């Protein structure tokens, strides 16, 4: 009986490790290197995938992030994806007024050179002085070697 329990425990541990490792590999393949506002000057290699991360309070609150890359041809946009902060929101979706998390703008380094990537949040459409004061921009300098 003890032998069966020991084998069952070993199999459960190996299975949990395999699932965790698979999730980590999937996240790395999806997002590449995650880069936050703490590092606004970045060097990547040609062919690398990377993500620029900004906090996102949610569209229902008024966040609307967009990206501008200058010049063209050095990096290619793959997608932008939001990851909710709470597990509940990830599984069931956010409730009205909720949905805070992190927005990742995902790129692939295509050719050697240097680009400026600006992520801008025009809060609630920048419709008045209050919403404009809550809007912001973040600019990264990305060098592809």
Q: What is the pLDDT of residues 15-44, one digit of tens each?
A: 666 556 665 566 767 899 999 999 999 999
For residues 68-84, average pLDDT: 95
Name which residue leads in pLDDT, 11 or 61: 61
Alpha helix (H) residue ranges in 1-145: 2-31, 87-92, 129-133
Q: In the prediction, which pLDDT does 89 show?
A: 64
**pTM to 2 decimal places:** 0.80
**If you average pLDDT over every residue of the chain, what do you get?**
86
How far apart are the C-alpha atoms of 75 and 81, rounded to whole Å? Answer: 17
Q: In the prediction, which pLDDT does 16 show?
A: 61
Q: In the prediction, which pLDDT does 112 show?
A: 98
How far apart are the C-alpha atoms of 44 and 102, rounded to whole Å? Answer: 22
């Amino acid at each position: 009986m003890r032998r069966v329990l020991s084998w069952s425990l070993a199999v459960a541990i190996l299975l949990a490790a395999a699932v965790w490792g698979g999730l980590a590999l999937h996240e790395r393949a999806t997002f590449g290197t995650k880069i936050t506002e703490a590092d606004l000057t970045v060097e990547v290699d040609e062919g690398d995938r990377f993500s620029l991360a900004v906090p996102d309070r949610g569209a229902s609150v008024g966040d609307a992030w967009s990206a501008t890359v200058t010049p063209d041809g050095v990096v290619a946009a793959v997608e932008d994806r939001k990851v909710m902060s709470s597990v509940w929101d990830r599984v069931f979706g956010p409730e009205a007024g909720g949905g805070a998390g992190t927005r990742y703008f995902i790129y692939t380094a295509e050719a050697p050179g240097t680009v400026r990537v600006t992520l801008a949040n025009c809060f609630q459409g920048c419709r008045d002085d209050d919403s404009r004061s809550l809007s912001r921009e973040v600019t990264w300098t990305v060098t592809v070697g």
